[in-house]
Amino acid sequence: MTNLVYLVPLFPLIGFLINGIGWRKIPKSAGGVIGSVAVLASFAVSLGIFFEVKAAGTGTTVHLFDFIQSGSLNIPFIFQVDALSSLFLLIITGVGFLIHVYSTSYMHDDEGMVKYFAYLNLFVFSMLLLVLGGNYLIMFIGWEGVGLCSYLLIGFWFKNREYTNAAKKAFVMNRIGDLGFLVGMLLVLFNFGTLSYQDLFGQISAGTSPVTDSTYNWIAICFFIGAMGKSAQLPLYTWLPDAMAGPTPVSALIHAATMVTAGIYMIARSSVLYNLAPMAQDLVAVIGLATAIIAASIAIKQYDIKKVLAYSTVSQLGFMFLALGVGAYTTAVFHVMTHAFFKALLFLGSGSVIHAMGGEQDIRKMGGLNKHMKITGITFLIGCLAIAGIPGLSGFFSKDEILASVYAHSPVMYYLALGAALMTAFYMFRLYFLTFTGKFRGTHEQEHHLHESPAAITIPLVVLAILSIVGGYIGLPPVISEHHTLNAYLAPVVSNFNVHHLEHATEWMLMGLSTGLVIIMIGVAYSLTKNPNFAPNTGIAKVLENKWYVDEVYDAVIVRPIAALSGLLNNIVERMGIDGAVNGVGKLVNWSGGKIRLFQSGQVGFYIFAMVLGITVLFAISFFWIQ
């Protein structure tokens, strides 16, 4: 099966080519089927690979063809099949497939549906390349590929200027990160002469490389800059909330199965490297924690159902980076997985709601939807319970593991992270109560149209809801079970660093504390939303509603100065300075031509005199110079 690994990205690529080339001819439903089947086929192969890797216990490298070769520089096109990549394959193709199925119904009225499925398959293809790559360059190909696909899908409804602006913003912000990734790669190449994981980590583990600590830190920081862009961390996170301009299933794809988890994957993949870069690790932890808190605070005051979810993704990604930063790589991967389940569920659920509401996304105009759409309501509730960290659901296990690792690392960080987790519980249940309980606040016509979505939408919701419940049992905390299935699986690839184990009593205490507080937060959310009051926000609430004015600050500090500089260069330096000088030379030639014309006086005597003078000078030169 491992030899057939090329099939995994090949199927979506074929799907992309069929739908991409035939997008005007292929009927809509056929396009949906082609796209979905392609990903399902990948999922099937991925399952086979997963179990094979699990049985073998080790990974392999599959060489496809020579890619870039120049002198001693040799970067082949290789795939790395091991525990980490095979786990990600399952998440990407599994959750991806559900999103495809969902889309067949959700996008059915859109004239660009076939094109949409082509993009969706290309997205999955890129993400698969990203995780399968056996060296950083192949990862980079997928890395930029998902950037492109997000660009195409965010701006899918291209007539709307705001949407295409959001698409452009996503791409450019990602590119800023990509430059960091590129520099990181060049540093690795320069110092180790290879980009392949096996060679690189082999060299590092063997301790044969003469690389200094600061170099390790620089490489790790450069890679992290790449991750900041792709995984929406401070300060490059503002593209992700805008990215919800695309169709809702795309948001689910970006936020859950693909794209934003790339940064987590990259650092988990590079754990050997990060273990030697303590400064970079601290940076990762601090940025992650700050992102978790700031994004959670913004989510509290948003009224757009997708915006709340978008900021919650940013915040959850912050948690994952926090875990990475304290060396608990497998924990971060664990949270990637559970988050993929419940975030896909929540986004798809919100799509079901938006569908029923006729495109409305403002939760102030919703309410009481439970009565009309039971399956969506119940599955959404399960998603909220999971993300809030209610014991028994998947989110609890992974989040608890993060918090425990952070506590062992630094209690101060733990309390801050706990604060963010409590905000999460609050804003998610504020969202749930405002949307699904109480009275309907929309128009009469909207209420009339409220309905449960068709099976192609509800079945993925139910499957994801089940996964959101049971997904956590592969990573039971030590107080319950000594065997951590996921950690055992990942152990050959990802080496956790310096993770202290807590006393059982401490761990029980932490678990009880966070659970108790989360339940209290849910109660607070309930009481505050019982009689909702949507008076204009003032003070800090207004700042939160306006997302700390970060977009405005970026605009004033970065965007406008660059535009002003460009205008200045264009109008002053280019036109008057450089070109002015050149045109001056041109005028000089014209002018001197005019003067020289005067020598052509028509008097033969003058001509003879000039000739004699010229010949003499030439002779003189040849005599003195050449001799």
What's the Cα-to-Cα distance from 313 to each of 235, 309, 345, 385, rounded to whole Å?
Answer: 15, 6, 13, 15
Which of residues 455, 578, 610, 612 is near other proteins by CB under 8 A? 578
The smaller minimum CB distance to other proteins, of residues 266 and 494, is found at 266
The smaller minimum CB distance to other proteins, of residues 149 and 253, is found at 149
Query: What is the distance between the alpha carbons of residues 121 and 16, in angstroms, rounded to a whole number?
Result: 5
Closest by CA position to 142, among listed 79, 204, 95: 79
Which of residues 4, 29, 108, 179 is near other proteins by CB under 8 A? 179
Which of residues 392, 516, 586, 614 is near other proteins by CB under 8 A? 586
One-letter identity of residue 227: A
Query: What is the distance between the alpha carbons of residues 252 and 340, in angstroms, rounded to a whole number?
Result: 9
Which of residues 71, 210, 536, 539 is near other proteins by CB under 8 A? 71
Which of residues 16, 102, 140, 433 is near other proteins by CB under 8 A? 140
Residues 17-56 that bind other proteins (CB under 8 A): 24
The smaller minimum CB distance to other proteins, of residues 562 and 613, is found at 562
CB of 382 to other proteins, least distance (A): 38
Which of residues 512, 567, 584, 614 is near other proteins by CB under 8 A? 567
Q: Could you give the dihedral angle defined by the CA atoms of residues 419, 292, 462 and 93, in that order, rounded to the nearest 10 degrees?
A: -150
Which of residues 95, 137, 232, 266 is near other proteins by CB under 8 A? 137
CB of 572 to other proteins, least distance (A): 12
Which of residues 556, 558, 569, 612 is near other proteins by CB under 8 A? 569
Residues 523-562 that bind other proteins (CB under 8 A): 562
CB of 70 to other proteins, least distance (A): 4
Q: How many residues form the binding site for other proteins (CB under 8 A)?
A: 50
Residues 189-248 that bind other proteins (CB under 8 A): 189-190
What are phi and psi for residue 443, nearest 5 degrees? Answer: -75, 165
One-letter identity of residue 570: N
Which of residues 527, 574, 606, 615 is near other proteins by CB under 8 A? 574
Q: How many residues does the chain have?
A: 627
One-letter identity of residue 476: L
Site string for other proteins, 146-165 (x = CB under 8 A): --x--x---x--xx-x--xx
Q: Which residues of 9-45 are buried (b: 16+ CB within 10 A; e: fewer)?
A: bbbbbbbbebbbeebeebebeebbbbbbebbbbbbeb
Read off the tokens for 242. Answer: 């805008």
Burial (CB < 10 A; 0-12, 13-18, 19+), residue 595, is exposed
Angle between helices 394-409 and 305-325 (to 10 degrees): 40
352 three-state secondary structure: helix
Closest by CA position to 272, among listed 180, 337, 174, 192: 192
One-letter identity of residue 533: N
One-letter identity of residue 453: S
One-letter identity of residue 247: P
Which of residues 563, 576, 617, 618 is near other proteins by CB under 8 A? 563
Region of 79-87, 467-475, 501-509, 578-586 interacting with other proteins (CB under 8 A): 578-586
Binding to other proteins by residue 14, rule CB under 8 A?
A: no
The smaller minimum CB distance to other proteins, of residues 12 and 318, is found at 12
The Cα angle at residue 17 between residues 114 and 179, in degrees rounded to 5: 100
Residues in the site for other proteins, rule: CB under 8 A? 24, 65-71, 73, 137, 140-141, 144-145, 148, 151, 155, 158-159, 161, 164-165, 167-168, 171-172, 175-176, 178-179, 182-183, 186, 189-190, 562-563, 565-567, 569-570, 574, 578-579, 582-583, 585-586, 589
